Amino acid sequence: MPLDARDSALLRFDGFEVDLRAGELHKSKRKIKLQEQPFQILAILLEQPGEVVTREELQKRLWPADTFVDFDHSLNTAIKKLRHALGDDADKPRFVETLPRRGYRFIGHMEESGGVSRPAKAAAPALVGKISELCDESGSPFLLVPMDEDTFKEREKLETANDDLGLSLLVASKKLLLVPSGTQVKVLAARQVPFGYEVRILDGEHIGLTALVPLKHLKGLA
């Protein structure tokens, strides 16, 4: 096999090596047992590190339309097995991050050729300084917008646990802002994945405050 072809079939992150041709996962030259579906999920996540892979996309790629299976249970089981193989924690993920009701994202540090480590792709800075409007793909009239990274993480935990009371307490403490769709914001800075962009709110009740917003909630910029 040509060297460049072999290298393209090997992906490395945080001491792990993924051999796409052999369908094997190694760490410190030791093979780690991982079943086919969890391995396929890992390979799909590594195709676009730092980007969300939706549950629907995983279903289409791993479970054909004519397959009769409890998809939610099968996917959740496969993700648990993948996390177990990686020594990952769903509550404090280092590699596989859950986005409630949406999908999953690889957040580990990939290695370039030559062993140089790089973080999962961050939001591009080209949009800094742009004016946008907040939007929600589901058509909701309001968005819950965290003011900082700690609140961002706390919101995701509460959403995963369906803890509406906890979310209400964050809103009451003004750490999580309830902002109407259509509110104008200015992009101030690109943050590391998964935090998206830091923006300043330009109108409405929360005018002048800053918050963290993923690209998909910035109208016309996604």
Identify whether residues 189 and 212 lie together within a single domain.
yes
Residues 114 and 198 reside in one and the same domain: no
* Final residue before a domain boundary, out of 83, 102, 119: 119
The mean pLDDT of 105-116, rounded to a whole number, is: 72
Give the domain extent around 14. Answer: 3-119
Please report, for the domain that includes residue 110, its CATH number: 1.10.10.10
Higher pLDDT among residues 6 and 45, named by residue = 45
Distance from C-alpha of 127 to C-alpha of 75, rounded to nearest angstrom: 35
φ, ψ of residue 98 to 5 degrees: the values are -95, 135
Q: Domains in the chain: how many in total?
A: 2
Q: Judge if 39 and 101 occupy the same domain.
A: yes
d(CA 125, CA 122): 9
pLDDT, tens digit, for every residue of 191-218?
Answer: 766 677 889 999 999 999 999 998 888 8
Rounded Cα distance between 32 and 89, Å, is: 17
Task: Note whether 19 and 79 are same-domain residues.
Answer: yes
The token duo for 108 is 């580990």
Phi, psi of 175 (to 5 degrees): -85, -30
Residues 139 and 195 in one domain: yes
pLDDT interval class at 64 (50, 70, 90) = low
Mean pLDDT of 133-155: 88
Q: Could you tell me if 108 and 95 are in contact, meaning their C-beta atoms sit under 8 angstroms apart? A: yes
Mark which of 104, 119, 134 sits at the end of a domain.
Answer: 119
Write the pLDDT tens digit of every residue in 25-48.
999 889 999 998 999 999 999 988
Domain presence at residue 222: no
Lowest-confidence pick of 84-88, 105-109, 117-121: 117-121
Q: Is the same domain home to 109 and 160?
A: no
- Position with higher pLDDT, 191 vs 153: 153
Instruction: Report d(CA 222, CA 219) in Å as an integer.
Output: 7
CB 118 within 8 A of CB 112: yes
pLDDT of residue 3 exceeding 90, the answer is no
> 115 and 166: one domain?
no
Which of 104, 85, 100 shows the shortest CA–CA distance to 45?
104
The reply to whether the predicted model has a pTM over 0.85 is: no
